[in-house]
Copies of this chain bind each other. A is one copy, B any other.
Amino acid sequence: MIATGVIVEYNPFHNGHLYHIQQARKKTAANIVIAVMSGHFLQRGEPALLNKWQRTRMALSNGADIVVELPYPFATGQAKDFAFGGISLLQALNCSSVCFGSEEGELSSFKTTYNALKAHEEEIQTTIRLSTKNGSSYPQALNNAYQIISKKYNLSLLDLSQPNNILGYHYYEQIQKHQFDIQACTIQRIAAGYHELINAETQTIASATGIRKALFETHNLASIEGFMPPASFEILKEHKNYANWENLYPLLRYTLLRTIPQQLTAYVDITEGIEFLFHKAAKQAETFAQFMQIVKSKRYTWTRIQRMLTHIFMGYTKQQQQEVSMPSYIRILGMTSDGQKYLSENKKKLKLPLISRVGKTTDPLLALDIRATDLYMLATGGGEPGLDFKTPPIRL
């Protein structure tokens, strides 16, 4: 059996994701699609709309055969860590390829860009340092450096202002850098851009961001129905308590007020004095929206701030980070019968231990995922602590 992999959040699963899985299967002639999916906290530094088992069910109902969890440090890390975690797990699962959506759509562009950037690495780093010194955010500075190199050497590079191109670039880079034995494959994204709003009359594919916006702002489930596969929409409809930062804010606020600003620097990504701003904002802001109004700045992207807050919420310290630098297990969240067949066949060839039932553990990485579930559940009223021990893999 041939397996291809996708690295996903499914927040929530929509028509674009369905297309992605179908194309991945087709392009790679795979029998099996394995989704490495983030758990309860996501790359933009926010809680998932629905819990990981609900999102696993969405994935299995729509073409994925196996869903494994991308552990917390990778799921909430920078693009390169996110990519490293995801590819490592697919490699450990013996996937022959990884398929990612991109605005670009042609793998050759990723190759050209990777080689060019490697060749001019030093020049790029200097340009980035200069831009960030002048107040640009890191992504802005990076993009700026690319533009300069592209012009100077007359190269046709990837448009790295596009979010899926960036992520794709990092997948490609990680494969090269660690010499992973896995083929990259990209699928042209169709229709909705990342941040686009839904226009139900002209599109049937909308971005997950657009869908979440519609859920929280217009509270109109019906307006979303056309953009999601029926099986996914049913699950969304069934679970009405969609989690967001406002649910977490009372606990985050308590933690910020309970901690001396200086102590906040113990948490991952907290640097450069932002801890004082966080402390001050927690005193004033009664909601997360108010909090972000106070702390947002040109210096930090919204995502970067949210990631810092996620790490504080989670109590994820720099010290803990050092113990969890690579995936140490394959945590099965769910599988179809085909998925199970694949796992049985590959049992002895898997490069990491398989966990389908969580028992007592001393693995600090697994402990983090258990903690993420517990705190997510506490904050959102979604269930009691310990669900990771009690929930068997979803079977479909």
Contact B251 A374 (CB under 8 A): no
A:278-295 near B, CB below 8 Å: 282-284, 286
Contact B258 A386 (CB under 8 A): no
Decide yes or no: A374 and B255 within 8 Å by CB, A283-B385, A283-B386 being known contacts: no
Binary per-residue interface labels of chain A (3-36) against chain B in the complex, 1 for a CB within 8 Å, 0 otherwise: 0000000000000000000000000000000000
Contact A257 B375 (CB under 8 A): yes
Binary per-residue interface labels of chain A (100-129) against chain B in the complex, 1 for a CB within 8 Å, 0 otherwise: 000000000000000000000000000000
Binary per-residue interface labels of chain A (231-264) against chain B in the complex, 1 for a CB within 8 Å, 0 otherwise: 0000000000000000000110111011110000
Q: Does A314 contact B (CB under 8 A)?
A: yes
Closest-CB distance, A287 to chain B (whole angstroms): 12
State which of B259, B282, B379 has its C-beta within 8 Å of the C-beta of A315.
B259
| Number of A residues with CB within 8 Å of any CB on chain B | 26
SS class, residues of chain A in contact with chain B: helix
Closest-CB distance, A117 to chain B (whole angstroms): 39
Closest to A251 in B: B254
Q: Does A378 contact B (CB under 8 A)?
A: yes
In the assembled complex, the Cα of A69 lies from the Cα of B88 at a distance in Å of 57
Q: Does A196 contact B (CB under 8 A)?
A: no
Contact B384 A258 (CB under 8 A): no
Q: Does A351 contact B (CB under 8 A)?
A: no
Contact B254 A371 (CB under 8 A): no
Which residues of B have CB within 8 Å of A320? 260
Which residues of B have CB within 8 Å of A371? 257-258
Top 10 closest A-B pairs, CB basis? Answer: A258-B315, A283-B385, A257-B374, A251-B254, A283-B386, A254-B378, A259-B315, A257-B385, A258-B375, A257-B375
